[in-house]
Chains A and B, each alone.
Chain A
Amino acid sequence: MATQNAPGGTGKPGTARHFKVWRGDESGGELTDYQVQVNEGEVVLDVIHRLQATEAPDLACRWNCKAGKCGSCSMEINGMPRLGCMTRMSTFEENETVTITPLRTFPVIRDLVTDVSYNYEKARETPAFAPPTDLEPGDYRMQQVDVERSQEFRKCIECFLCQNTCHVVRDHEENKVAFSGPRYFIRAAELDMHPLDAKADRKEYAQASQGLGYCNITKCCTEVCPEHIKITDNAIIPMKERVVDRRYDPVVWLGSKIFRRGKQNEAVQGQTPRDPDELGSVHSHAGGSHEPEAEVGAERGVHWGRQVPHPTAPPLDSRGRLAISEFTFDKAAAPSPFGDDVTFPLPAEGLNYSHPDQPQAKD
């Protein structure tokens, strides 16, 4: 144990620090105490890796890049939502107990790993980028000054710390149906401010289907964002103001009547706004365009009747759990997500998709 704990690099020798880590799954769990060696320059994720290598090889934790760019190691450290890889141990006192818990807003799978599928569902519901119909891909031209507001929101690494912190869903589970959360408000703002996005009803959508009105701008999303995106000031408040333009502001309404501004915009965009009543029912598809013709086109090459192999569930260890750590597993790497019995490339006749430009798949 001592050799494993010894610091690998140069610098001051490490000191043993006290940690409490939440261990358990959906049936229950508790904070477990650990003494872990901490070396100079380390971050909380390093400590979790040392725990996995020593006392707790079955501690489950999602991580990937260790550089604050993948958004995997979101957790709550001393109660604050943070990235494990970007929280330096030097920010804590030497004798301070560091408590590490999973994200509270999402269902727990095991230990520090949570099921964040809520966010993916909301992502699927958000209408995708819709360029003008007469523009071919490759012909998109825009000015930097027009697109730079949208670019701020492209910094998002989807760590979902903002989604986790937002009290609208954190403290009120029932709001998850109506509320998409800050990550999808910046998505809505990104597209609404995008110079080449021709979809005219994003404001109505944000208000009616994303639950923009639930936000009471208490700015916790901005506080926890590891990419320092000004979520509230640059996305949520501008979106709220844009909704006010459309729904509550008679001055804007009068202006657009007198100067026919709204009409011009619609002519330029080549689209008419959708009936708000339609919203909410039409945006349940995964990505892509929402135009019926486009969807028919995309599905032309898909042969839906073909028998496809069912996905294989991953193997479990002797205790019926997914093998989280390589140390306790009898294979060199993680099991294949396609099933360990699948080899690539798959035989072409077993595929259920053929490119639309090539001969059609036959039943």
Chain B
Amino acid sequence: MTTRTAPPPAGLPGSVRQRAAITAKTLRTDRWWFAPLLTVIGLGAWVTYATVRVFMHDYYWVEDFHYLTPFYSPCVTQACIPEAAHFGRVLPGWWIIPDAALTLPFLLLFRLTCYYYRKAYYRSFWLSPPACAVPDGHKTYSGETRFPLVGQNLHRYAFYAAVIISLINSWDAVLAFHSPKGFGFGLGNLILLGNVVMLWAYTLSCHSCRHIAGGRLKHFSKHPVRYRFWTFISKLNVRHMQLAWITLGTLALTDFYVMALSAGWFNDLRFIN
């Protein structure tokens, strides 16, 4: 055995050690690109459908059963059918203004700043990173430290707005039980109700809501009621991703059903009246 000693350990000031020179960008062998691809297809399709529907300015109200699609709730422009405008018509009726112009921007903001959707679109659209241990598609990275992405911290306000909008959607679902012939109940009511229940589940499972309900406390033992809220929301919060996709589905389904009835493609399945 020799008596040579090792050089001084690297990592001291002035010496920069190198990473392992691995040429392959990623050595993952599984289909890591599949989940981002599904996200792109899913979100792309939904956004396309929603954009078309929002600027269609038609087929959003079923006069016979008082069904109003969530994409036009509340209907607040001069272009709205008067019966569908439950909260008055305050905005001019230009085609460029969505009929639910007072709520849609906040809903968009709520979903854009949502902690789940952020993960989804940072990965699939922005490729930062596309998947775990797959290189970022960008040369530099400052995360959410600067404008505009520091604005993601506004999620909480979007959540407050989303709660109000969920109340409005719930009111629409209640009003739909009252058709011109009096009380009525059909498949459309079930769909509207299901959508509202899912919207509430998604809104309440929000990470900001979890924080506001109790997550910000240091001592749960001093706030037993808020601790129970927090526990309940934590259970929902685990499903936040699933609820995010389910609500996209129920929104599109509800809107499509209302559109189909309004356009007369098929008739509502009525149980009462």
Contacts and interface: CB of A to CB of B under 8 A. Distances in A.
B21 A29 contact: yes
Contacts of B142: 214
A217 B6 contact: no
B218 A195 contact: yes
Interface string B24-58: 10111110000000000000000000000000000
Contacts of B123: 218
A193 B220 CA distance: 10
Interface stretch (A39-47, A72-80, A287-295): A72-80
Contact of A26 (B17, B28, B143): B17
A233 B129 contact: no
A320 B3 CA distance: 10
Given A78-B27, A213-B143, A26 B22 contact: no
A330 B143 contact: no
The A interface is mostly helix, strand or loop, or mixed, namely mixed
Can you list the 3 inter-chain pairs with the closest CB atoms, starting with the nearest? A107-B17, A79-B27, A79-B28
B179 interface: no
A215 B29 CA distance: 26
B17 A216 contact: no
A114 B19 CA distance: 8
Contacts of A167: 128-129, 135-136, 141
A314 interface: yes
10 contacts: A22-B20, A78-B27, A80-B30, A80-B133, A165-B133, A217-B118, A218-B128, A218-B129, A244-B156, A317-B2
Contacts of A76: 27, 133
A330 B218 CA distance: 56
Interface in B184-227: 207-208, 210-211, 215-216, 218-221, 227
Given A102-B20, A218-B123, A172 B140 contact: yes
B2 A315 contact: yes
A63 B144 CA distance: 36
A252 to B, nearest CB: 8
Interface in A100-155: 101-102, 104-109, 114-115, 117, 143, 145-146
A248 B3 CA distance: 61
Given A214-B144, A241-B156, A195 B216 contact: no
B208 A241 contact: yes
B11 interface: yes
Interface stretch (A219-227, A273-281, A344-352): A219-227
Interface string B122-133: 110000110011
Nearest to B7: A313
Nearest to B143: A214
B136 A171 contact: yes
A224 B132 contact: yes
A314 B20 CA distance: 23
B150 interface: yes
B17 to A, nearest CB: 3
A24 interface: yes
A40 B211 CA distance: 47
A94 interface: no
Contacts of A6: none
Interface in B125-166: 128-129, 132-133, 135-136, 140-145, 149-150, 153-156
Contacts of B5: 312-316
B21 A78 contact: no
A244 B207 contact: no
A237 interface: yes
A328 to B, nearest CB: 11
Contacts of A99: 27, 29
A14 interface: no
Contact of B207 (A78, A79, A195, A233): A233
A116 B133 CA distance: 17
A357 to B, nearest CB: 35
B269 to A, nearest CB: 40
Contacts of A107: 10-11, 16-19
A216 B118 contact: yes
A143 B133 CA distance: 39
A330 B6 CA distance: 17
A233 B122 CA distance: 17
Interface string A156-186: 0000000001011011111100000000000
A82 to B, nearest CB: 10
B6 A195 contact: no
A24 B21 contact: yes
Interface string A65-97: 000000000001011110000000000000010
Given A107-B10, A217-B115, A220-B133, A242 B18 contact: no
